[in-house]
Chain A
Amino acid sequence: QQPVQSPQAVILREGEDAVINCSSSKALYSVHWYRQKHGEAPVFLMILLKGGEQKGHEKISASFNEKKQQSSLYLTASQLSYSGTYFCGTPTGGTSYGKLTFGQGTILTVHP
């Protein structure tokens, strides 16, 4: 089951903040975040585990609320280099334990 991301696209000026949300209809035990720049492969940002954990990568942080089955990615004081498509990934359990399915992506554009 694919997680759902919102918004689909965000346009910012340098220095502005943004929040990208990821939600699932199934119980989550972790959420994975990746960023993909145009024409390149996705690159790992962070993994969040159950427990309301928050993590950070540069000025990018994230939270995970397993009760609400949601995660949010916070981009603070955005830089031009933050432009790209952000994907959240949610693993499944059962016989396909660890299978990582990605949301449809959120396109972030940062202008000078």
Chain B
Amino acid sequence: DARVTQTPRHKVTEMGQEVTMRCQPILGHNTVFWYRQTMMQGLELLAYFRNRAPLDDSGMPKDRFSAEMPDATLATLKIQPSEPRDSAVYFCASGVVRGGGDTGELFFGEGSRLTVL
């Protein structure tokens, strides 16, 4: 079964440390999304890539967050420095652009649960 793979699954770190989360999208998928989920904010969109190009990262705090796709098999989300308010589950999702350019079905990874102390 093809699946989106995220690492690490769990991460506990101290405030001020750098955190890098990785995502391997499903082979052949050309869109990648990063979402952050908290009880208060629901599923927040952080970044959106199409064909590895960043199309939108307006939901991301620019001073500390960065997202990249160095190649088609890897997407990264980095937080530097991390803060307690960054504690959340971070989901990566990949999909294929449908006819007309709309986003098709998204396949979500299992998420990376981040706790910043």
Contact = CB atoms under 8 A, between A and B. Distances in A.
Contacts of B109: 41
A95 interface: yes
B51 to A, nearest CB: 11
Contacts of B58: 96
A96 B56 contact: yes
Contact of A98 (B91, B97, B108, B111): B97
Interface stretch (A17-25, A62-70, A73-81, A101-109): A101-109
Contact size range, B: 20 to 34
A102 B45 contact: yes
A47 B56 contact: no
B63 interface: no
A87 to B, nearest CB: 6
Given A42-B91, A104-B42, A99 B106 contact: no
B27 interface: no
Interface in B43-60: 43, 45, 48, 50, 55-56, 58
Interface of B: 31, 33, 35, 42-43, 45, 48, 50, 55-56, 58, 91, 93, 97, 101-111
Interface of A: 29-30, 32, 34, 40-44, 47, 87, 91, 95-105
